[in-house]
Amino acid sequence: MPYLFTSESVSEGHPDKIADQISDALVDHFIAFDPSSKVACETLVTTGQVVLAGEVKSDVYLDVQQIARDVIERIGYTKSEYMFEAHSCGVLSAIHEQSPDINQGVERESPEEQGAGDQGMMFGYASNETESFMPLALAISHKILQELAAIRKAGEPMTYLRPDSKSQVTIEYADDNTPQRIDTIVVSTQHDDFDEDERMLNKIREDIIKIVIPRVKAQLKPELQKLFDDNITYHINPTGKFVIGGPHGDAGLTGRKIIVDTYGGKGAHGGGAFSGKDPSKVDRSAAYATRHIAKNLVAAGVCDEVLVQVSYAIGVAAPTNIYVNTYGTANVKLSDGEIAKKVEEVFDMRPYAIEQRLKLRTPIYSESAAYGHMGRTPEQKTVKFVDGAGRVKEMQVETFTWEKLDYVDKVKAAFGL
């Protein structure tokens, strides 16, 4: 019997995502000037206020207030009527030094034996449902909001858009887990005030369906474009009005959108957030590493869908387990346990090895803090940072390294493919 599956996304202007982006901007600045920095920064945003808290061990001094303001300005909170504006909001910092009890468990005389920054389990997922090896409902949800943001920043044709928005996509699947059609699309977007609410709602609905959705559809493969039929149920700003939004409408916190950040409810999640953490925190680095494994396994043809789990004890380098679930889609004559053993042979999952393999001790995290950490396109970029003394540092970085298919040949060799 056919079934429905739903995923959601939130925009860069959503309060929780503002918090994530500020936290990751701090991580990037610390790592840019001191690659050995240990960072765990949380952000709270609310009406006219930003609160920064957390622990840092670093040799660099930063103007953290200015970094927060720069992020808020880039997102688009630049008008006083938003009740949260980049240059007038208060920014309070309560960041202090990292606990030496934690640090002694991470740093070792031999870098290769660097301990995990915390205990916990992390998951990576991939399937051949899309070109990015990501779940389709989440991929479309992200694309809807990325198009909305692009239109908003261009200033046309939807001139009324404000930064806060959410999307949700429900897809109908057949018994063999193949997508049949898009059943429902939900979009809530903040907007300027209108004299007539009904006219506003009709205008936004028409623009979403006739401007945004065609742009999203055009980015998909032809077989996926066919999923957009005339029977889609649309819920556009279903409350009827969305003028009050952003941190004025709802407080935002770092790490509160972990399912949006990963796989939209597919696979599993270990519960740890990513943003605000340097890569010694395995919540972040090992989640990236398991995604890297999962994507390369599917791309190599080992299976059509896979979930990879790894877990750690704080201060211990070697993981406590590596688990693989192929959901019965394996294309090799091995059990999932046997596949996991081979994965362990191909991929060194000690924290230091992960950092080196994926080049994680570079300032690459701000870009990941909105529209998902997974399924993105790796790029070579020039980035620039300013410290608290006004020193400027410009450097070349490679983003989203965990999305590279650079282990496909090694995986094929290991599995005899």
pLDDT of residue 105: 52
pLDDT of residue 198: 87
Least confident span in 42-56, 113-127, 129-143, 398-412: 113-127
pLDDT of residue 114: 78
pLDDT of residue 196: 81
What's the whole-model pTM score? 0.96
Query: Would you call 281 a catalytic residue per the annotation?
Result: yes
Three-class DSSP category at 193: coil
> Tokens representing 409?
């040949």
Whose structure tokens read 């070579």? 380
In the set 8, 16, 129, 183, the catalytic residue is: 16
Phi, psi angles (nearest 5°) of residue 114: -50, 130
In the set 257, 269, 284, 357, the catalytic residue is: 257
pLDDT of residue 215: 97
Q: Write the pLDDT tens digit of every residue in 190-212.
A: 999 988 888 889 999 999 999 99
Q: Are residues 245 and 12 in contact, defined by beta-carbon separation less than 8 angstroms?
A: no
Instruction: Please state, as a whole number, how many other Cβ atoms lie within 10 Å of the Cβ of residue 218.
Output: 9
User: Does residue 109 carry a pLDDT above 80?
Assistant: no
Query: Would you call 166 a catalytic residue per the annotation?
Result: yes
Q: Is 242 marked as a binding-site residue?
A: yes
pLDDT band at residue 100 using 50, 70 and 90 as cut-offs: low
Q: Write the pLDDT tens digit of every residue in 265-283.
A: 999 999 999 999 999 999 9
Query: Would you call 242 a catalytic residue per the annotation?
Result: yes
Q: Write the pLDDT tens digit of every residue in 297-334.
A: 999 999 999 999 999 999 899 999 999 999 999 999 99
Give the span between the Cα atoms of 352 and 314, in whole angstroms.
14
Instruction: Give per-residue burial for 343-372: e unless 16+ CB within 10 Å, then b.
Output: bbeebbbbbbbbbebbebbbbbbbbbbbbb
Q: Dmax of the chain from CA atoms?
A: 67
Output the DSSP codes for 349-394.
-SHHHHHHHTT-SSS--GGGGSS-SSSPPPEEEEEEEE-TT--EEE
User: Does residue 35 carry a pLDDT above 80?
Assistant: yes
Query: Would you call 251 a catalytic residue per the annotation?
Result: yes
User: Does residue 102 carry a pLDDT above 80?
Assistant: no
In the set 38, 69, 142, 281, the catalytic residue is: 281
- Pick the residue with more confidence: 111 or 338? 338
Ramachandran class of 379: left when φ > 0, alpha when ψ lies in -120 to 50, beta otherwise: beta
Query: Would you call 250 a catalytic residue per the annotation?
Result: yes
Helix (H) or strand (E) holding 412: helix 408-415
Q: Write the pLDDT tens digit of every residue in 231-266.
A: 999 999 999 899 999 999 999 999 999 999 999 999
Give the span between the Cα atoms of 364 and 362, in whole angstroms.
6
pLDDT of residue 118: 81
Mean pLDDT of 78-90: 97
- Pick the residue with more confidence: 117 or 120? 120
Query: Would you call 341 a catalytic residue per the annotation?
Result: no
Q: Is 42 marked as a binding-site residue?
A: yes
Q: Write the pLDDT tens digit of every residue in 166-193.
A: 999 999 999 999 999 999 999 999 999 9
List of domains in the chain: 3-10+135-244 (3.30.300.10), 120-128+281-415 (3.30.300.10)
Give the span between the Cα atoms of 170 and 185, in whole angstroms.
6
User: Does residue 106 carry a pLDDT above 70?
Assistant: no
- Going by their DSSP bridges, the two strands 49-57 and 90-97 should be labelled as parallel
- State percent of the chain over pLDDT 90: 91
Q: What is the CA radius of gyration of the chain?
A: 22
Residues 6+ apart with CB under 8 A from 230: none
pLDDT of residue 103: 54
pLDDT of residue 126: 98
Query: Of 399, 372, 402, 400, which is closest to residue 295 (Cα–Cα)?
Result: 402
Query: Would you call 235 a catalytic residue per the annotation?
Result: no
